[in-house]
Amino acid sequence: MPITTCVFDAYGTLFDVTAAARAAAAEPGRGALAAHWPQIARDWRLKQLEYSWLRAVAGRHVDFWQVTGDGLDWALEAAGLQDAELRERLLALYRELAPYPEVAEMLGALKAAGKATAILSNGSREMLDAAVESAGIGGLLDAVLSVDEVGIFKPADAVYDMVGARFGTAPEEVLFVSSNGWDAAAAAGYGFRTVWVNRAGAPMDRLWARPDHIVANLTSVPEFV
């Protein structure tokens, strides 16, 4: 069955999750942050993901903006940089994360090939709308799907169900692309064809399924459709 629909995770896949800390660290007067920003960015992302999984398992759902703030609070405390102004600045920058440089051209190629395109993300709708607008890619997307609609985070099947509900597709018609190995694997187990964007060269996660393709960036995604 041919692929009709290409669906993308947002954070870390289309949008660079390290961009907020990196940009803030380059601002005047941010010497303390400049010395720690790579670790803060890593810790922030790790805790953001961990808290989403723990809340899903415990049935304690909140929107992803709260999870993002909670993760940042942990990362700043771990670095000894508990500063209310810095926190607010980092969160403001996170709402406008830079897209990876190949995103617009890649999405344009998919649209030119007649494929439907969408985001499927843990992000709240407000977060996603802000990021899409800032990146200027709204015209290249047919839908932006947030887990707000189902009240649980990935990798719950209820999240992946949203694609078929929106587009009327069978799972095998969908190419799902994520920079998270666990997300790509879970989506493969669900029945999507999958691409893992392994920007960090990380080992394969030991899960119940494996992604169909592994790439270093998004440039080659149109080749798989």
What's at 153, amino acid-wise? F
**C-alpha distances out from residue 76 to 96, 149, 206, Å:** 20, 30, 30
Q: What's the angle, vertex CA 103, arms to CA 168 and CA 170, rounded to 5?
A: 15
Distance of CA 126 to the CA centre of its chain: 14
157 counts as catalytic: no
Rounded CA gap, 95 and 84, in Å?
A: 17
Rounded CA gap, 21 and 108, in Å?
A: 29
Active site residues: 9
